[in-house]
Structure 1
């Protein structure tokens, strides 16, 4: 049954206020910021086990999203934790490569047949930017064609094309052009000048699958125009397939970038690619060398041990099947509850079963951040933490049942807001706002003096 609604966020709110004083934005990732949660209800977490987490106020939640999709086996997954503990007991960082670097690289390349070499790092942005630099060196071109998908990097070549482009030189902004997903004509148009170093895209997203022949068409266009193809496997890798989306959809990139789930939450990412390109960052080339990746912590033994333990878990079990089954059960039961509440036109779940996103609409059927916040508010009150319904292999039928019970309690309030045509009087505080936006408003931190709540249902 759902947790009673009389939960306190007092300690979390105190720590969040202190975080704002020492960490810009109050979090180290924009998607984790308090502006992404109902006001005064942004839990500061203490620990997790499986798909359950506990905050500093002692509240327990069933978590979805699972570390921004990085945790597929569950928090505190024992085989991973034990492998890491064994490895770090012998040291973490050395002045020369370690045997586990070779073992991890061989494990990785066994899973990605189209790649000949791999280099490990810590963040997704490390490897996507390294891939772009390598493509520029290979082709002698500067421009990047990036798909109109949400996020590829924190670096200038990508951030310069978002609303948060402050501090990015115009030269970086103009060097990246966009094309539309599932639209080969859109890509053909940006490639026609033969001045594009690389095309970067996710083969699929949580809400969009490639149309038949699309990815093969992208590969063909890249070959025709002398452009490298980079696949971003941050989300799809180890969630769509252990071999990534490239294995699932049968397309071979020149370079691919991995992260998130490959370490079950531990900090590890990877750039993989064909030897003829990757060696430009090595010692077996007569060409001018590329400063590809050179990180102090990239070969840190703990995260590589985590990666190897994750690979073993995937080879001996079926975590992808389990997370997809949990997502399918969640989808069918939540959709039934929404239909029963008469809200099918206002609240929908979309996307792959293991990576579900909910769409919230106002009384006019328009996407609404205010109604989204109202929904999140009620889920939090009843023990569900999640900006989406991204599952893990740790989500059980019981967890799904508890989640659906919480949603059933939340739906009548959502219906009242629809009938009123407003969240006023129902939503406590300001709505959530897009994580990447030009100004802090409408969720600027006022240092404790908060403005009166307003109904901003039209903000999407």
Structure 2
């Protein structure tokens, strides 16, 4: 690693990554094809550009190796280049990937998915989560004849499409009339949701939410949403992009025992390969098919939605989860990491400022300032120290490829970072430890 020690700080430089980032910005708006991977999410001049990954480790173009968390925005839950997934993909690549008619792999993948998620009756595959969630919204509007979408206000992302992005600070280019058709309800508050449904009686097509997030659903909450949706005649949609597989092989719906009308899966489904799914009740899903007498719904139709190698990857992922107890391993690793980080933070006197949250398989961290308020400056300080210690962690979301030694190394690096965090808190100003501008939130009005 290119690290120089100076008094009171560790200077960590990434010259090749810095050059590569300049090339990225010259050709790609934002310097990345995903905003959450942008270099504005990292300390100034310390945004590693990745060369390759294996298991729980990645290497940047400067030759540095990191223990990686949140791999592929939570998609690589088995670790990079997982041999079982790689072999499944390789077999299909030699047989062709896309044809003029459905491949037999399409029905095999559908059978495997519906056996894994038995609460669904039909499934349609796509390449990304946004297409799947927007298809769910379109289908809900079609079957109810209603225009409005009610989305959970407490969950950060549902789709790149106008019905959602129009509700964020990055709403440029989206007509106000479109945005007005999306309303919000708070997570965990059935009374507020019922009030919203009554206010827009017979106008709301669906309730869409992540069934769980940084906290567990309150007792009876998901059951209450199911009852509200039924009583008000709207469609209940679970966005299981994150909860799918990480909560249980059958998603949060399988864990909590509440069946939505429609649900969407992605991320962990392909272990980094591009595959997502819209699943749900036959009576609704068939409206996007050919075997009904009603008006046709353009549900999902993507040229690459059924690439055989991505579907093969999905089948390999599901088999690996079932046969190797992956969800249980994710929870065990996450519990070890959370306990270690909390102990390290408490030991350095910053336990109230560096806070680990979420289910053990899906941990995030909050960086709080002297007043206990979320701070991008302290996040910058923390990320900078993690990177210098060989830990790439925009979150603490684990993969099953992590070893206990990886986790223990991470905790050691966190302890060192917390020592600096304490110094900054005592000084009342983290600026001397930032090395440049602070990191920025993805959703903001101005660049």
- Which TM class, normalised by the smaller chain length? over 0.9
Structure 2 counterparts to residues 141-180 of structure 1, below 5 A: 141-148=146-153, 149-180=155-186
Structure 1 SS opposite 2:67: strand
Judged with a 3 Å threshold, the aligned counterparts in structure 2 of structure 1 residues 7 and 346 are, in CA distance, closer, same or farther, namely: closer
How far did 1:229 drift? 0.5
Alignment correspondent of 1:452: none
Distance in 1, matches of 2:170 and 2:152, equals 18
Is the 2:13–2:45 Cα contact (8 Å) retained in structure 1?
no
Alignment correspondent of 1:186: 192
State whether structure 2 residue 346 is matched by structure 1 residue 339: yes
Alignment correspondent of 2:7: none
Alignment correspondent of 2:441: 434
Q: Which moved more, 1:171-180 or 1:331-340?
A: 331-340
Is the 1:50–1:395 Cα contact (8 Å) retained in structure 2?
yes
How far did 1:8 drift? 3.5
Distance in 2, matches of 1:181 and 1:413, equals 36
Alignment correspondent of 1:64: 69
Distance in 1, matches of 2:359 and 2:225, equals 22
Structure 2 SS opposite 1:229: strand
Distance in 1, matches of 2:341 and 2:138, equals 44
Given candidates 186, 193, 205, the residue that maps to 1:197 is 205
Is the 1:143–1:177 Cα contact (8 Å) retained in structure 2?
yes
Alignment correspondent of 1:446: none
Structure 1, gaps ≥5 residues long: 441-460
Structure 2, gaps ≥5 residues long: 5-9
Structure 1 SS opposite 2:422: helix
Alignment correspondent of 1:311: 318
TM-score of the pair, normalised by structure 1: 0.94
Structure 1 SS opposite 2:205: strand
Pairs aligned (count):
438
Alignment correspondent of 2:331: 324
Given candidates 273, 295, 308, the residue that maps to 1:301 is 308
How far did 1:220 drift? 0.3
Is the 1:233–1:259 Cα contact (8 Å) retained in structure 2?
yes
How far did 1:7 drift? 4.9
Is the 1:323–1:395 Cα contact (8 Å) retained in structure 2?
no
Alignment correspondent of 1:351: 358
How far did 1:36 drift? 0.4
Alignment correspondent of 1:451: none
Is the 2:116–2:250 Cα contact (8 Å) retained in structure 1?
yes
Deviations 1:48-88 (A, max 9, x none): 11110000000000000111110111101000000100111
Deviations 1:202-222 (A, max 9, x none): 1001x1211111000000000
Distance in 2, matches of 1:263 and 1:11, equals 30
Alignment correspondent of 2:92: 87
Alignment correspondent of 2:382: 375
Is the 1:8–1:57 Cα contact (8 Å) retained in structure 2?
no
More helix as a share of residues: 2
Deviations 1:72-112 (A, max 9, x none): 11101000000100111110111100010000000011122
- Once superposed, which parts of structure 1, at least 4 consecutive aligned residues long, lie more than 2 Å away? 3-8
Distance in 2, matches of 1:38 and 1:83, equals 38
Structure 2 counterparts to residues 21-420 of structure 1, below 5 A: 21-148=26-153, 149-192=155-198, 193-205=201-213, 207-420=214-427
Deviations 1:355-378 (A, max 9, x none): 111111112222111001100000
Distance in 1, matches of 2:243 and 2:394, equals 19
Judged with a 3 Å threshold, the aligned counterparts in structure 2 of structure 1 residues 363 and 6 are, in CA distance, closer, same or farther, namely: closer
How far did 1:18 drift? 1.1
TM-score of the pair, normalised by structure 2: 0.96
